[in-house]
Structure formats: structure tokens, C-alpha cells
Amino acid sequence: MAMDTPPRWDRRMQQRLARGEAAALGEFYDRFAALVHSLAHRVLDDDDAADQVTREVFGYIWENPDSYDPKQGNMRSWVAKLTQRQAVHRLRQAETLAYAETGLGSAEELEQKVHRATVAARADYIVTSMPAPLRAALELAYFQRRDYRQTAADLGVTEDEARRRLRLGLQLLSSANTRPLEGSSPPGYGRTP
Amino acid sequence: MTGATGDGDEVARAPWIPGPRRAADDHADLTARLPEEAEEPDVDDPDVDDPDVDDPDLDDPDLEVPVLTHDVLKSLLGAWALSACSTGESRAVENHLTVCAPCADEALRLRDAVALLHEDRDLDLDPLLRSRVLENCLGRRPARIPVPDWVTPYDAETARLDALLRDIGESEWHAPVRLKWYEEDRVMRRKATVAAVIGHLLAVDGLVSTALGLDDPLGAGVPELSPTERTEALWSALDRPPNRSLRGPWRDQSHTLIRTVAFAGRGVADLTVTYKDFALPLRDSLLERAFECWLHADDIANAVAYPYAPPSGAHLHGMIDLAARLLPAALANRRRTGLASPARHLVAAGAPGRSLHLEIEGAGGGHWYIALDSPAAVGSADHAVAQVAMDGVEFCQLVAGHITPEEAAAGQDGDREAIRDVLAAAASLSRL
């Protein structure tokens, strides 16, 4: 969870990568590979393409660790941003190529497809980055079909609090439709989209 | 807070917003019936009309619609969008949305947000992707502080196990794991849990930590203990049954070990790691830890019904090679305790002696010649008196004590006694 990542870890990791520590690269991969691969997969919907984006994103970071600016947000959001950019770039390439070859589709459809994929990836990122209590509430209510009273009981909180968490979680998630991921730290509590 | 900005009393001409769809599930079709449809039940396909549906008709005149304040209605918007409130509350919210524009606006946004929720994909990350990605990186920019080659099996195996642990649920940490090994020619068994196995790995990896001067996970001032004793000590020091909280310390320790070794320079490979009853140079010790990590990860994967592949061929080869190098001493040990047949032809140290040809098939395979009469002798193809052919993973299962020498499906040729002694010695390398 991004919320558990102290900024110190980010800065330290950046220094170690810059220093050329292969062990740091392994640790960096272990922390972010699942995020990178799943976001790339969400955009491209293809395992091989997601593998390729994963390779490119880690390659880029290992070669350019200094391009991370801690002032712009945490390392996790930076990694997500790079991944999304690379995956969308690849999607655009693949779709343009397909269009050139088959003549099917239109520029408008391509943009719609890119937009949908971008929103979906952003939403995934927001879910994985939101505060754990909100995420837990959404998981209970949505995936396990618990109503808010049961959710409150499962989480050991009041019904008011369960309602609050569900609403806040969806508010954060809804920002995927409106806010660009560009430069974002994960949305915080109470942010107005 | 978003949406309602305090002017919630303003009556706006908001369209009536139909209720949200039900949570992602197959039986959503019926319960997600839109109000428009509810008004005209005839449009429903009679075939799918299910009398068991517990969702009362939204137009049910008996439906009790609670009278709620604006604040409560607003607070219900998330639960409403997720279909996580009572039918009466849903109805109250929907009635409210026709008269309150800010809430109606937020309701639409939240309902659209629900459509973005998506099941996590499990275990889709190919474990072999890690080495490919890292290799690609290091090809683009060589490491200034590389991880030595002999550490990579440990690096790869701990990363694979960690990826498995990341994907298992809270309750699976308590899934029973049946540990099995071979001791004094008997199969030993012990019941543990997934978390307890991680505790075991944490405790025994700690031997390497202490050899490198790092903190011992058992705490300072722990006397020299065997791997089994260390495991027992760690387990009994826990005030609750082992749980997922052991993952962090185990993973941090393995990362610290790799990093420390990478910084330590060349000589560190020969540093002695003591296991109380025996010792290994660090380079072999980390290979042995990689081997243990794989086999215990395999135990865990079996316990939680996940697929788990063997290590890459190169790493498997290193593990088999280590076992093959340890076999002559294990044979001698058994001979001393009368478990193996006496030596036949003692030769001068360093001279070729009577040997068993171990042929390992499959990924990581190769040919090894095991000196039979003395660890000081050199294994030799010219002095081979017997041959055993086995699959690499099967051989590792034998070395781990997961299968007995009798169960090992080995192609055998030559001196029966030598074959029996070597297979039994291989199994004797196993422990908890």
C-alpha cells in the first residue's frame, strides 16, 4: 500500500538505484512489478504486451533513476504514471498499425479506446493506492456483496462510518473519470474532483 | 467533501435516477431490474422470472420508505451506488435525488465509479519475468555493485516465494502444511502452517545473517543452535500462533543478506556458515537456502492449492551440484554409524576412486561422479561401478526427503549396494 511507504524508502531507493546497486533493482522490482504489470495489462489486455511494457518501464527507471522527483509525489505514483504513459503509447501504436493495415475503425474510435483504457488503469491505480480502510469497505460491499450494516459489523465500525467510507471510496474512484494521473499523488481524503 | 455544497435544499429539476446495478455477480440480472421495467413487469422474460428473488418490487405499496434527513441521505449515496443499503433506504435516496441536484449529480458520479471496480488479477505475473526484466536492465546499464552470480538462486527463489505470499489471503496463512523429511532412515513428519514455515525459513536464514555479522532474528546472545533448534526457538518465542506478520521480517532479512553480500566483495564467498553439526562456505550456504526456500515454497503452494514451478535450469543445476558434492561426506557419515556398507578400496587423497555415475535428466541436469569410498577421493568416470539416472526435480525431492530412496524412480545399473548407499545418503541430507 502506498500509504505504508514512508518517503524515506522512496528517497533511499532512488539513491541506491542511482548508485547502480543491482540488489536495489531487485527490491524495486519486487515492490512494483505487480503494479506495473497489472496497469499495463489493464490498458493493453494482453500478457505479452504487458510483459514488454514491464521490461521497458523498469529499463527506463534503472537508466534514469534521477528523473524521479520526490516533490512531485511518491515513487509509486511516479512508477504508475510512467507505466500508464508507456502502455498507452504502445496501445496507440498497435491500434494505428492495425488501422493502417485493415482500414477498420476511425481516429475517433482510437481515441475512445485510449480514453477508456486510461480511465480503467487510473481507476485500478486509485483502488490500490487508497487508504486501506476505504478499500476494505469497498471490497466488502462490492465483491462480497455485504450491505453497509454488515460491512460496518465486519469492520468493527459504526454504520455511519461504514457509509462514510463507502461514499469516500467511490468519490476517490470517480476521480479516475475526471482527473489526469499526470503528476498525481494518490488522491487524498476529501479531495474535490 | 464533494458534491453537496450546503445548498442541498435547493429543489432542482433533476431527472429521476434509476437505482444502481447490483454488485458484479451473475445473479445481477433480476435484482438489477430498473424501476422503469418494474412499472411494466410484463416486459420481463417470463423464463427468467424467479419467484425466489428477494428483492421486493420497488413499487411495492407496503414498502416502508424511512424519512431521513438530508445529511443521512447524502451519507447513503455511496452505499446506494453499491446497492449496499436496504430497499427502503434505496427508495428514500432515489426519491431524494429527484429533488436535490447536488446529490443527484454526486449519485451519478458514484454510480459510474462503481463500474470501474474490477477484480484483481491473481498470480498473473510470470515468475520468470523477473530475471528477464532484471537482465534487460543490467544490459542497458551495468550495475556498479552487482549481485554475485552465486547469490542469484537465493535472490530468485526468495522473490518467487514472496510473490506467492503476496497473493494468498489472510486465512491461507493458517493453512496446514505437512512437512516431511528423512532422518535415520525413517520418514519424519511434522504439522505446521504456512506462517510457521515462513518462521522456519526466517530462523534458519538467520544463521547466514549471524555469519555476516547482521542481526539475528532470534535476538542477541542466542547460543549456537542447529537449524531445527533455531526453528523451535523462534516458534516458541511467538506469543500467538505464527501469522502473516512474519512475511516482512523474512523478506527484509533476505533482502539485507543479498545486499550485504553484494557489498562485501569477493572473499565473502568462502566465509564459513555454521549449522552447529556441520558448516558450509557462504556460497554453498546461500545455495542451500535457495534450495530450502524452493522446497518449502512448494510445500506452501501445495497447501494452498497454487501452481508452483521448479527453479530455472541453471539454478536447479547448482542445487543438484551442491547435493552431489555433499554426497561423499554423507556416505562416510553413514558408514561411521554402520548405515552404509564399508569402504572397499581406499585410495590416496585426491586420487580417483570407485565412483557412482549420477546422471540427471531434464532442465539443470548433467553428469556427476560420486566417490564412494572416501570424501577425499575424486569421483571418476573411469572408476564408475554403478549408474543412476534420475530426473532433476525428482532427485531434489529425494535430497529434501520428500520421497524415500525406495520411491525414487531411478534407472539403475551396476553395483546394487553402491546405488542403495548413495540414494540413502542423498535422502539423509534432508532435515526439517
Give me the pLDDT at residue B26, please. 40
Choose between B167 and B86: higher pLDDT.
B86
Q: Measure CB to CB from residue B144 to each of A19, A163, A166 and give the nearest one.
A: A19
Q: What is the spatial distance between Cα A47 and Cα A77, in angstroms, rounded to a whole number?
A: 22
- Work out the average pLDDT over B416-426: 93
For residues A21-52, b (16+ Cβ closer than 10 Å) or e, as one string?
bbbbbbbbbbebbbbbbbbbbbbbeeeebbbb
> What ipTM score was computed for the predicted complex, to two decimals?
0.81
Say whether B141 and A63 touch across the interface (CB within 8 A).
yes
Q: State in words which class domain B314-428 has.
A: alpha beta
Q: What is the DSSP code string of B69-128?
A: -HHHHHHTHHHHHTT-S-HHHHHHHHHHHTTBHHHHHHHHHHHHHHTT--PPPPS-S-TT
Say whether B23 and A145 touch across the interface (CB within 8 A).
yes
What percent of chain A has pLDDT above 90? 57
pLDDT digits (tens, 9 = 90+) for B185-229: 888 899 999 999 999 999 999 999 999 999 999 998 889 999 999
Give me the pLDDT at residue B120, please. 60
- Work out the average pLDDT over A140-146: 89
Give me the pLDDT at residue B40, please. 42
What percent of chain B has pLDDT above 90? 66
Q: The C-alpha cell of A77 is what?
A: 505514483
**SS3 of residue B371 by DSSP:** strand
Give me the pLDDT at residue B60, please. 62
Mean pLDDT lowest among A23-32, B114-123, B140-149, B285-294: B114-123
| Closest-approach residue (CA) in chain A for B258 | A23
Q: Measure CB to CB from residue B110 to each of A27, A127, A170 and give the nearest one.
A: A170
Q: What is the spatial distance between Cα B91 and Cα B74, in angstroms, rounded to a whole number?
A: 13
- Work out the average pLDDT over B279-306: 96
CA B117 to chain centre: 27
Q: What is the mean pLDDT of chain B?
A: 85
What percent of chain A has pLDDT above 70? 89
> How many other β-carbons are positioned within 10 Å of the β-carbon of residue B206?
27
pLDDT digits (tens, 9 = 90+) for A100-131: 888 777 778 888 888 888 888 888 888 888 99
pLDDT bracket for residue A160 (50, 70, 90): very high
Q: What is the spatial distance between Cα B180 and Cα B190, in angstroms, rounded to a whole number?
A: 7
Choose between B106 and B54: higher pLDDT.
B106
Q: CA A33 → CA A122, A123, B131, distances in Å?
A: 17, 18, 12
Angle ∠(B231,B290,B233) on CA atoms, nearest 5: 5
Q: What is the spatial distance between Cα B46 and Cα B58, in angstroms, rounded to a whole number?
A: 18
Q: What is the DSSP code string of chain A?
A: -GGG--HHHHHHHHHHHHTTBHHHHHHHHHHHHHHHHHHHHHHH--HHHHHHHHHHHHHHHHH-GGG--GGG--HHHHHHHHHHHHHHHHHHHHHHHHHHHH--S-HHHHHHHHHHHHHHHHHHHHHHHS-HHHHHHHIIIIIS---HHHHHHHHT--HHHHHHHHHHHHHHHHGGGTS--TTPPPP-TT---
- Work out the average pLDDT over A89-104: 85
Mean pLDDT lowest among A166-175, B106-115, B241-250, B402-411: B402-411
pLDDT bracket for residue B124 (50, 70, 90): low
Amino acid at the residue A191? R
pLDDT above 80: residue B54: no
Q: CA A147 → CA A142, B60, B76, B108, B114, distances in Å?
A: 9, 21, 11, 20, 15
Say whether A38 and B133 touch across the interface (CB within 8 A).
no
Say whether A34 and B84 touch across the interface (CB within 8 A).
no
Give me the pLDDT at residue B291, please. 97
Instruction: Tell me which range, A67-81, B140-154, B215-229, is most confidently predicted by mean pLDDT.
Output: B140-154
Interface test with B, best of A44, A142, A178 (most B CBs within 10 A): A142
Give me the pLDDT at residue B83, please. 92
Q: What is the spatial distance between Cα B385 and Cα B387, in angstroms, rounded to a whole number?
A: 7
Give me the pLDDT at residue A57, please. 98
- Work out the average pLDDT over B427-431: 90
Say whether A33 and B25 touch across the interface (CB within 8 A).
no
Q: What is the mean pLDDT of chain A?
A: 86
| Closest-approach residue (CA) in chain B for A19 | B144
Give me the pLDDT at residue B288, please. 97
Give me the pLDDT at residue B196, please. 96
pLDDT above 70: residue B53: no
CB pairs under 8 A between A and B: 182
Tell me whether residue A102 is exposed, middle or buried, using C-beta atoms within 10 angstroms of its C-beta: 0 to 12, 13 to 18, 19 or more. exposed
Q: Which overall architecture, per CATH, does domain B129-307 show?
A: Up-down Bundle (1.20)
β-sheet bridge partners, residue B355: B371, B384
Say whether A174 and B110 touch across the interface (CB within 8 A).
yes
- Work out the average pLDDT over B333-354: 86
| Closest-approach residue (CA) in chain B for A54 | B133
> Which domains does chain A possess?
2-129 (1.10.1740.10), 130-193 (1.10.10)
pLDDT above 90: residue B28: no
Say whether A171 and B2 touch across the interface (CB within 8 A).
yes
Give me the pLDDT at residue B15, please. 55
Choose between B356 and A95: higher pLDDT.
B356
Q: B425 with B334: CB under 8 angstroms?
A: yes
B-chain residues near A54 (CB < 8 A): 129, 133
Domain ranges for chain B, please list them. Answer: 28-114, 129-307, 314-428
